[in-house]
Amino acid sequence: MVTEVKKVLYTAEASTTGGRDGHARSSDGVLDLDVRVPESMGGKGGGTNPEQLFAAGYAACFQSALSVVGRRQKVDTADSTVTAKVSIGTIDGGAYGLAVELEVAIPGVDAGTAQELAEAAHQVCPYSNATRGNIEVKLSVAS
């Protein structure tokens, strides 16, 4: 099933040259950085990589979704933290795939409520909706 966007609220635009050993820049110039293959994958390192960018975007988006569901359920999530771990590896057919682990911490909120909020945020978050059914996403709540 394809998720159809009913009303566009914002469109981000970025261009890269050189792929994983290149440069990325957003159309407004706010994002302007070198992209490098990590040393652990045989590269030189010294720059960010697509997995780090995806992890930062997913974590930020998920934390915002957590704030939305927290407000709806009248639970304070202001001090929450979302950590996203994005892994790249091989999949069948000689291709590459991603896997994500999301760890949610909500200080002052009991574990059961935190789990409910995290699961609700997973239904609201655009990154979760984009990846659902396509890649493995593990969701955990820090105690």
Q: Give residue limits of the domains in the chain.
A: 1-48, 49-141
pLDDT at 10: 96
Among 41, 36, 19, which residue's Cα sits nearest to residue 88? 41
What is 49-141's CATH number?
Answer: 3.30.300.20
pLDDT at 1: 73
pLDDT at 57: 98
Answer yes or no: are the C-beta atoms of 62 and 121 closer than 8 Å.
yes
- Provide the residue-wise pLDDT of the chain in tens; the chain has 143 residues: 788 899 999 999 999 999 999 999 999 999 999 999 999 999 999 999 999 999 999 999 999 999 999 999 999 999 999 999 999 999 999 999 999 999 999 999 999 999 999 999 999 999 999 999 999 999 999 96
pTM: 0.94
pLDDT at 126: 96
pLDDT at 3: 83
What is 1-48's CATH number?
Answer: 2.20.25.10
Half-sphere exposure of 100 (CA within 13 A, CB side): 27
